[in-house]
Amino acid sequence: MDNELTLIEHVSELRRRIIISLVCLGAGTVVVFPFSSYFLHILKIPAKGAIDKFVFLVLRNLS
């Protein structure tokens, strides 16, 4: 280990990596969002028979 970092340098590097990860996650979400219904359709195919048995809870306005 030729390059030992101080605690502040480690925290700064961690912050930089977290910011890059969040930016990539956001960009990926924006790119994939228009295709979300297609991806959900593909993911539902294996559960085609069981999906009718699921219970979905929906919050409604009671007033």
Domain ranges of the chain: 7-53
Q: In the predicted model, what is the mean pLDDT of the chain?
A: 86
Residue 56 has pLDDT above 90, yes or no: no
Residue-wise pLDDT for 37-51, tens only, equals: 898 888 888 877 776
> What's the confidence (pLDDT) of residue 60?
76
Task: Give the global pTM.
Answer: 0.59
> What's the confidence (pLDDT) of residue 7?
92
> What's the confidence (pLDDT) of residue 52?
67
d(CA 33, CA 42): 15
Is 25 within 8 Å of 31 (Cβ atoms)?
no
Residue 11 has pLDDT above 90, yes or no: yes
